Chains A and B, each alone.
Chain A
Amino acid sequence: MQELLSVKYDVESGDFIRGGEASSSIKKLLQQLGIKADIIKRICVACYEAEMNIVIHSYGGYIEAKIFNNKVEIIAKDRGPGIENIDLAMKEGYSTAPEYAREMGFGGGMGLPNMKKSCDEFYIDSKMGEYTEVRMVVYF
């Protein structure tokens, strides 16, 4: 598998104004590469949810997109409190997001389930008090 290109963007904690810019840049790049619109949409939904999770739940992190000739891999890693119970966090409607996140339109407990549904492969790893890392793969 040959990696053709990779981009990486820092994501700031609590920045609801710029949150989404990394996903937007990745979307633009995928469009320039001529990838099909429905594939781009799946990648972008997963990527944007992951990006907003970093904004809402972490102390900051990054989003990385690695583009191969047959797939895109998105890695979202943050520094943060970590997830205590991943099975519970994967449940639709379960959320630990603070009230202000809900006021911004997030925290409905659909983020992780949406990410999983949107991609072909979904991996999540977290260590309490240290990090959460999500890796998602969508094949062309």
Chain B
Amino acid sequence: MKLGKIKELLEAEVLCNEELLDYEAVSAFACDLMSDVLSLAKKETILLTGLTNVQAVRTAEMLDLRCIIFVRNKRPDESVVELAREKGICVLFTKYTLFTACGILYSNGLKGADML
């Protein structure tokens, strides 16, 4: 599923790296615990999280993830967005809660990520 479609479905705002909206995500993972995220297998995964600090971006960076979606109206600090911009990670921001955002994406065909 293209990030552009995800943006539409979640009525999300793009906070940086809009040029990645053509990127095709093959799966998604949703979590606020970064060590759980770090056990992800595929890099074509996107991360949905309510953790809006710089470590969410660092985690995505280590895994070569191309997109983070911050949920439940929690807007990250500019420093967080700045780091994501520098690392080539597209940041989306949605009003939906984690559960609802996942439900919307899942029911539209995006599957969960495999673990290692």
10 further interface pairs, Cβ-Cβ under 8 Å (given A24-B61, A45-B38, A114-B35): A16-B54, A20-B55, A27-B61, A41-B64, A48-B58, A48-B59, A52-B55, A106-B34, A108-B36, A110-B35
Instruction: Determine the chain B residues whose CB is within 8 A of the CB of A20 once the complex forms.
Output: 54-55, 58, 61-62
Q: Which residues of A contact B (CB under 8 A)?
A: 16-17, 19-20, 23-24, 27, 37, 41, 44-45, 48-49, 52, 102, 104-111, 114, 117
In the complex, are the beta carbons of A106 and B33 less than 8 A apart?
yes
Which residue, of B38, B51, B56, B61, has the highest number of chain A Cβ atoms within 10 A? B38
- 1/0 per residue, CB under 8 A from A, across B30-45: the answer is 0011111011000100
Instruction: Determine the chain B residues whose CB is within 8 A of the CB of A107 once the complex forms.
Output: 33
How many of chain B's residues have a CB under 8 angstroms from any CB in A?
21
Q: Which one of A23, A110, A111 lies within 8 Å of B62 (CB-CB)?
A: A23
Instruction: Determine the chain B residues whose CB is within 8 A of the CB of A19 once the complex forms.
Output: 55, 58
Instruction: Give A116 Cβ to nearest chain B Cβ, in Å.
Output: 11
Taking CB as reference atom, which chain B residue is nearest A110?
B35
Contact of A16 with B55 at beta-carbon distance under 8 Å, contacts A27-B61, A41-B63 already known: yes
Q: Which one of A37, A102, A110 lies within 8 Å of B38 (CB-CB)?
A: A110
Contact of A110 with B33 at beta-carbon distance under 8 Å, contacts A24-B61, A41-B64, A48-B62 already known: yes
**Distance, CA A45 to CA B65, complexed state (A):** 12
Taking CB as reference atom, which chain B residue is nearest A21?
B58
**Distance, CA A104 to CA B50, complexed state (A):** 11
Instruction: Give B16 Cβ to nearest chain A Cβ, in Å.
Output: 17
In the complex, are the beta carbons of A117 and B62 less than 8 A apart?
no
Taking CB as reference atom, which chain A residue is nearest B57?
A20
Instruction: Determine the chain A residues whose CB is within 8 A of the CB of B59 once the complex forms.
Output: 48, 105
Instruction: Determine the chain A residues whose CB is within 8 A of the CB of B56 once the complex forms.
Output: 105
B53 adjacent to chain A (CB < 8 Å): yes
Q: Which one of A17, A45, A105, A117 lies within 8 Å of B33 (CB-CB)?
A: A105
Instruction: Determine the chain B residues whose CB is within 8 A of the CB of A109 once the complex forms.
Output: 35
In the complex, are the beta carbons of A24 and B58 less than 8 A apart?
yes
Taking CB as reference atom, which chain A residue is nearest B61?
A24
Instruction: Give B102 Cβ to nearest chain A Cβ, in Å.
Output: 18
Instruction: Determine the chain A residues whose CB is within 8 A of the CB of B39 once the complex forms.
Output: 110, 114, 117
**Distance, CA A20 to CA B63, complexed state (A):** 13
